Amino acid sequence: MAEDLVFVPRIGFRSMHALGTRANVVAEQDGRRLTAAITPDRDGIRLQFTITGIPMEIDANGRRFEGQVQIHDDKGRDISTPRPRWQVGGSFGRSSDGTATLSYTTLLAPLAPDVRSVELAVDGAAGAWAVLLPVEPEGFRGARARAIDATDTKGGVTVAARMVARSERETAVELEAYFDPPEAVEDPRPARRWVRGIDSVAPPMSGQLVRDRLILRDDAGREHHEQGHSFVDPLARKYREVMVFPALAADVRSATLEVSNLWTQDRTDEAVRLTVPGEVNVRVGGCEARVIASRVGDSAETISITVAPRDGDAEEELLYFENLVVPGGDPRGTLGMSIIHCIGQRPYLTLPDPMAKVPEVTLRGPVIQLRGPWTLELALGEVT
């Protein structure tokens, strides 16, 4: 597929023949509204829709959608089968007006170039719908992609460079990172372990975290710093990100890229409970650390949760927890919690508590840092 891909500035790698909806498609019935769109991604299309105004009782924890979704192109072909990924499907959430909203996402294979519409059929608790979604070429243009295969493995984790694109403005390198061997994509269960980010960065879906920029060293010994933005596209059982560097001299044909660390997560029931304020020594994910809860601010109106490793030189280090629950709160997480991460500082959690009523917190979802380095020797090819 590499010959079909181009690097599009501010978007990432996309097919030159990608199809999508140029605007949201809206349909209404019985006081409900369906809004749908098709957006191209790295490997195909992302179809998303919402249905609002559903008369249904939903508690604060929401509810999974168990209805039927069928998708056909205008040639009558059933294209409903999703591409492998961790999770696709939909769920109901409670709206402020007392009704329910269904949010649904699926990732599909690329549409055939001659397709000009897709029929979306939905049946279930959100009602029965049949909506036509017109699609047209997106017209993506950019530097052509070139497939490469540079890998390095350490501590059971592989980092691989899969794609490169060079233009007179920039150089884009697509990286993958995964536990090796990766879990089978056919396994319907959620992944047991996965990579969250490359060199101290987490994907945008969980809040973009900052990092020191990666450095690309070309075959003449010159250093080129990452330009400060990157692109994350879904990939089953692996983490994938495109790093962007400045344009390299036309005669450069190879370069070295070093990844210092990775952020990973295990699916675990391990939890840490501590009083506020308070601190406790823990062993989570095989890492020993001290977790500290304190009240900060002029009026101690904010709870701050920090993690201090017991061994700062360990190859695996507990960084933070992505889930914070207060007594009687939603077990999926507490609204208002933030992950704070600045260059040169360890990430930490904050939670507003202006009335100082929260007596304790429970922390889940440990994020672990693995130390490298992983070193990749890249064959860059020519500028296109």
Domain boundary among 137, 169, 191: 137
In a domain, 263, yes or no: no
261 touches 368 (CB < 8 A): no
- Do residues 115 and 203 share a domain? no
pLDDT tens readout for residues 259-315: 999 999 988 889 999 999 999 999 999 999 999 999 998 888 999 999 999 988 899
Q: What is the pLDDT of residue 203?
A: 41
What values do phi and psi take at 277, rounded to 5?
Answer: -80, 160
Confidence of residue 2 (pLDDT cuts 50, 70, 90): low
Asked if the model's pLDDT at residue 144 lies above 90, the reply is yes
- Do residues 329 and 294 share a domain? yes
- Do residues 61 and 103 share a domain? yes
- Do residues 301 and 335 share a domain? yes
Asked if the model's pLDDT at residue 62 lies above 80, the reply is no
Lowest mean pLDDT among 4-13, 163-172, 332-341: 332-341
Q: What is the pLDDT of residue 60?
A: 66
What domain range includes position 51?
17-137
Q: What is the pLDDT of residue 340?
A: 87
The model carries a pTM of 0.88
pLDDT tens readout for residues 94-116: 888 889 999 999 999 999 999 99
- Do residues 35 and 122 share a domain? yes
Q: What is the pLDDT of residue 61?
A: 67
**Distance between CA atoms of 156 and 264, rounded to whole angstroms?**
12
- Do residues 248 and 340 share a domain? no
Residues 6+ apart with CB under 8 A from 221: none
Asked if the model's pLDDT at residue 3 lies above 80, the reply is no
DSSP letters for 258-325: EEEEEEEEE-----EEEESSEEEEEEETTEEEEEEEEEESTTS-EEEEEEEES-TT-SEEEEEEEEEE
Which residue, among 30, 37, 104, 40, has the nearest Cα to 67 in the 3D structure? 104
- Do residues 94 and 174 share a domain? no
Q: What is the pLDDT of residue 206?
A: 39
Asked if the model's pLDDT at residue 127 lies above 50, the reply is yes
In a domain, 12, yes or no: no
In a domain, 235, yes or no: yes
- Do residues 300 and 233 share a domain? no
> To the nearest whole number, what is the mean pLDDT of the chain?
90
- CATH number, residue 50: 2.60.40
In a domain, 6, yes or no: no
In a domain, 298, yes or no: yes
- Do residues 247 and 311 share a domain? no
**Gap between the terminal Cα atoms of the chain:** 17
Which residue, among 204, 224, 185, has the nearest Cα to 12 in the 3D structure? 204
pLDDT tens readout for residues 196-222: 888 754 443 334 444 567 899 999 999
Lowest mean pLDDT among 65-69, 177-181, 375-379: 177-181
In a domain, 322, yes or no: yes
Structure tokens at 273: 């409970």
Find residue 274's DSSP bridge partners.
Answer: 361
Q: With pLDDT > 90 as the criterion, what percentage of the chain qualifies?
A: 73
Q: What is the pLDDT of residue 342?
A: 76
Q: What is the pLDDT of residue 1?
A: 57
369 touches 257 (CB < 8 A): no
- Do residues 322 and 234 share a domain? no
Confidence of residue 384 (pLDDT cuts 50, 70, 90): confident
- Do residues 90 and 38 share a domain? yes
- Do residues 24 and 128 share a domain? yes
Structure tokens at 25: 């498609």
| Domain tally, the chain | 3
